[in-house]
Amino acid sequence: MRRPLIAGNWKMNGTKAEAADLLNGIKAGVAGMQKVDVAVCPPFPYLYIAAELLADTAIGWGSQDVSQEAGGAFTGQVSAAMLKDFGCRYAIIGHSERRQLNGETDALIARKYAQAVRSGIVPILCVGETLEERESGKTEEVVARHIDAVLDAEGVEAYGQGIVAYEPVWAIGTGVTATPEQAQDVHAFLRQRVAAKSKDIADGLRILYGGSMKPGNAAELIAQADIDGGLIGGASLKAADFVAICQAGEDNA
């Protein structure tokens, strides 16, 4: 049985004080939950606040990116080993905003994934199609390409140490959510893709849904057979909303 994970992707939002408030709110709100894994991914400069405030909790924290390099002359980059060094558990990899705005390619993303795994950080690999791709019937082709980038470069074992997030680009920050059926179809497709190489690894792989997940739609999404939690953007910036989504994970576990 896969444990649900609810992870917050804060993106480039907040101040030091807001980060602390949000973390304290989440900490209080999820304190009694036993069956759901909870994680937050604040911006790099605020990770130390998560490290401090969450030290005595089961809440994990992660970065929103990681370098594809192990270390050295790479100005502005942060290595997986550095993150691991101070307690980071997860790293979001290949978010569509980075694919689109920072020109990240599948090959680069596969290297980032590998660096995370090598350092003991759990990568959360984002995959998903644009609206144009969906409307032209290319959803499966696109998400297969995203998932295969890691499969081909690192082998199926890499999915034994990571998490996948299906995030249709048209649902991110738009208020438009994939229907539970639309999401389930893609999640099942992704799992089958991995199962073709290893059924055991596919059965254990957590596949999160992301894209305008909120308290009002979380439960029915998470209830789908192949949806194992959520990667939450906008709604992760309000403690009450994020906690309500965690509760949906807890109730469905």
- Residues recognised as catalytic: 95, 167
Residue of 26, 186, 231, 239 interacting with ligand PGA (CB under 6 A): 231
249 binds ligand PGA (CB under 6 A): no
Q: Is 168 in the site for ligand PGA (CB under 6 A)?
A: no
Residue 196 Cβ vs ligand PGA, minimum distance, rounded to whole Å = 27
184 is a contact residue toward ligand PGA (CB under 6 A): no
Cross-strand pairs, 230: 6, 209
Residue 74 is which amino acid? F
- Please identify, using beta-carbon distances, which residue of 64 and 68 lies nearer to ligand PGA: 64
123: contact with ligand PGA by CB under 6 A: no
Candidate list 123, 229, 233, 249; residue touching ligand PGA; CB under 6 A: 233
Contact call for residues 229 and 7 (beta carbons, < 8 A): yes
Alpha-helix runs per DSSP H in 120-233: 131-135, 139-154, 180-195, 199-204, 215-222
The reply on whether position 120 binds ligand PGA by CB under 6 A is no
Q: Which of 210, 217, 221, 228 binds ligand PGA (CB under 6 A)?
A: 210
From 94, 128, 234, 249, residue interacting with ligand PGA (rule: CB under 6 A) = 234
- Residues in Cβ contact with 227 at an 8 Å cutoff, skipping those fewer than 6 apart: 180, 183, 184, 187, 207, 208, 209, 221
Is 9 a binder of ligand PGA (CB under 6 A)?
yes
Q: Based on CB atoms, which residue is closest to ligand PGA, 40 or 235?
A: 235
Residue with tokens 């995959």: 127
Specify the 3-state DSSP secondary structure of 5.
strand
Residues numbered 67 to 96 that lie near ligand PGA (CB under 6 A) are: none
Q: Which residues have CB under 8 Å from 69's CB, separation 6+? A: 77, 79, 115
Q: Of 67, 212, 217, 252, which lies in the binding site for ligand PGA, with binding defined by CB under 6 A?
A: 212
DSSP for 66-134? --SSSSSS-TT---HHHHHHTT--EEEES-HHHHHHS---HHHHHHHHHHHHHTT-EEEEEE---HHHH
Chain positions contacting ligand PGA, by CB under 6 A = 9, 167, 172-173, 210-213, 231-235
